[in-house]
Amino acid sequence: MNQPPPFPSLLLLFFLSSSTFYVANAISANTVVDSPLLTQKIGTNRTIKVDINGKGDFKSVQAAIDSVPSGNDKWIIIHVRKGEYKEKVHIPKDKPYIFMRGNGKGRSWIVWSQSSADNVESAVFKVEASHFIAFGISFKNAAPTGVAFTSQNQSVAAFVAADMAAFYHCGFYSTHNTLFDYKGRHYYDNSYIQGSIDFIFGRARSVFHSCEIFSISDKRMAIHGSITAQNRPDADDDSGYVFVKGKVYGVGDTMYLGRAKGAYSRVIFAKVYLSKTIAPEGWTDWSYNGGSEHLYHAEYHNHGPGADTSKRVKWVKQLSEKEVSPFLSIDFIDGKQWLPVWL
């Protein structure tokens, strides 16, 4: 009769079994993250089809979301077929586990045009429900650039206030305040983000992996524009933005990597291509009244003409391999616990 394995062997078996999920979801750089792979990882075939030409279950994205029952606790796919859907879309807190799957960021568009004194009010797309995934969709606020410091100033493309939200191969377009990355743990992979001033802002804990950041000039103001305005309020807050690989480029005037929004603002650019669009100073404390001693604006092994650090502001940190390591790990956003796949 076979004897059961000794206790240490059981522990080893448990460890190996538990690790399988992580290894399976941490894909290699050669793997293409596409909608079939994401669909496989979330393990569902429940699909609601949205087709602007009436060949699906709904013609409106919001109508499809409205059809998801309150308290939904199993993954459901909302397939947004190609087309330009001219509507504002909101996923409320009581509708988690939605996978919004498009046909590609150049093919499936959610577009609206609105400026407001209130960032959230202006947002074309709002997600507040946890466990959200988007793939292959572009979110665009088409409002024209208004007058600086007025109610015409805010034109948000996406307001992300959900915990455990991931965007793969998506696009975010606006002229000002493009991505309100408000709160929660977020992952952006191979996505495109375009804007001019503070166009990635908020106090979320987010990783931007292999993303394209494109700056456009804003002629309304004498200051340089800034890519990020991260609002970490204190040392105990775990928020921050980490940009890993990808590239930053643009047209027009030079751009700062970030400006201080909160006293402990935290932004890291690591292994990113920085074009000549980046101002030599790199960072700014424009409009911030506090000191720079608690700011965590940092860089690690960036490359390109904008990566020259010889004229950087005094408070920027040039990180060592040991110092940057926690930020390069997917554990920064606890990704092993909730992400379907990551690179």
Chain centroid to CA 223: how far?
25
Residue 79 tokens read as 């397939």
Chain centroid to CA 280: how far?
26
The catalytic residue positions are: 198
Burial label, 343 (beta-carbon count in 10 A; 0-12, 13-18, 19+): middle
Quick one: three-class SS letters along 214-276?
A: EECCCCCCCCCEEEEEECCCCCCCCCEEEEECCEEEECCCCEEEEECCCCCCEEEEECCEECC
CA torsion angle 10 13 15 17 (round to 10) = -140
Closest CA to 175 of 149, 151, 198, 203: 198
Cβ-based neighbour number of residue 156 at 10 Å: 31
Contact present, 99 and 76 (Cβ < 8 Å):
yes
